[in-house]
C-alpha cells in the first residue's frame, strides 16, 4: 500500500452550487481567475459562480464545494463529461498573460489532482484546461500558457502516494 499524504485546506462554503450530481465524476477542469485571492474567494463564494478547489500563487488551498456536489464553473462545454454535473473544477489565482506560474501553485494543484484521480478512479487524461473543454472553441483561454510539463512531472511524483484532504481548523 502507498504511503498516505494529506492536503490541508481552508473551508469556505460556496452559495451557488447544486447538492449532489446527476452524473459520475469524469473530468477535472483547470482554470485561472484573472484575479487576486481576496476578490477571488468573494466571487467563488458569491451568488453566481463556484468551483470545488482554489489554489493561490503561494500554494494556499481553499475548498468551496464538496466533490460530491455540483459547482458552477464550466459553462457551455464540448462534451458531457466536461459539464458541471460530471466535472470537478480547480481555480488558480493567476492573471493570464501578465505573470508566471509559481512552482508552489502548480505543485499544490498536482497534489489535488492526484487526490481526485485516486478518489474517483480517473486517468490523467481526465485533466483538461477550461480552454479545451469550453464551447464554442475559443470562448475560454484559461489557464493560459499553463506549464503542463512541470505539472505532469509533479503529478508523476504525487501519484506514488495515497491522499486524503483535511480541513484546517480555524
Ligand atoms: Zn475557466
pLDDT tens-digit readout, 13-38: 999 999 999 999 999 999 999 999 99
How much of the chain exceeds pLDDT 70, in percent? 100
Among 67, 41, 37, which Cα is nearest to 52's? 67
Mean pLDDT, residues 128-135: 98
What distance in Å separates the CA atoms of residue 63 and residue 90, rounded to the nearest whole number? 9
* C-alpha of residue 2 to centroid of ligand 1, in Å: 33
Q: Domain residues of the chain, as ranges?
A: 4-167
Domain 4-167: CATH architecture, name and number where available: 3-Layer(aba) Sandwich (3.40)
* C-alpha of residue 134 to centroid of ligand 1, in Å: 8
* C-alpha of residue 119 to centroid of ligand 1, in Å: 23
Q: Contacts for 116-123 with beta carbons within 8 Å, 24 or more apart?
A: 116/25, 116/28, 116/67, 116/88, 117/28, 117/159, 118/159, 118/162, 118/163, 119/67, 119/163, 120/24, 120/25, 120/67, 120/88, 122/25, 122/26, 122/27, 122/28
63-110 residue pLDDT tens: 999 999 999 999 999 999 999 999 999 999 999 999 999 999 999 999
* C-alpha of residue 32 to centroid of ligand 1, in Å: 6
* C-alpha of residue 33 to centroid of ligand 1, in Å: 7
Cell of 38: 481576496
pLDDT, position 1: 77
How much of the chain exceeds pLDDT 90, in percent? 99
The answer to whether the peptide bond before residue 116 is cis (omega within 30 degrees of 0) is no
pLDDT, position 53: 99
141-163 residue pLDDT tens: 999 999 999 999 999 999 999 99
Does the pLDDT at position 51 exceed 90?
Answer: yes
* C-alpha of residue 1 to centroid of ligand 1, in Å: 36
* C-alpha of residue 116 to centroid of ligand 1, in Å: 18
Q: Do you know the residue count of the chain? A: 170
What distance in Å separates the CA atoms of residue 70 and residue 86, rounded to the nearest whole number? 8
* pTM for this model (two decimals): 0.98
Amino acid at each position: 500500500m502507498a504511503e498516505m499524504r494529506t492536503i490541508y485546506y481552508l473551508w469556505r462554503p460556496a452559495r451557488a452550487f447544486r447538492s449532489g450530481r446527476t452524473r459520475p465524476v469524469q473530468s477535472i477542469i483547470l482554470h485561472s481567475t484573472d484575479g487576486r485571492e481576496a476578490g477571488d474567494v468573494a466571487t467563488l463564494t458569491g451568488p453566481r459562480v463556484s468551483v470545488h478547489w482554489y489554489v493561490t500563487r503561494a500554494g494556499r488551498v481553499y475548498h468551496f464545494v464538496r466533490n460530491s456536489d455540483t459547482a458552477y464553473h464550466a459553462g457551455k462545454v464540448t462534451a458531457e463529461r466536461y459539464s458541471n454535473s460530471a466535472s470537478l473544477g480547480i481555480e488558480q489565482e493567476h492573471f493570464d498573460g501578465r505573470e508566471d506560474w509559481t512552482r508552489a501553485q502548480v505543485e499544490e494543484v498536482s497534489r489535488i489532482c492526484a487526490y481526485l484521480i485516486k478518489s474517483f478512479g480517473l486517468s490523467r487524461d481526465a485533466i483538461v484546461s477550461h480552454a479545451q473543454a469550453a464551447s464554442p472553441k475559443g470562448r475560454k483561454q484559461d489557464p493560459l500558457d499553463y506549464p503542463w510539463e512541470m505539472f505532469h512531472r509533479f503529478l508523476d511524483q504525487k501519484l506514488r502516494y495515497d491522499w486524503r484532504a483535511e480541513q484546517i481548523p480555524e
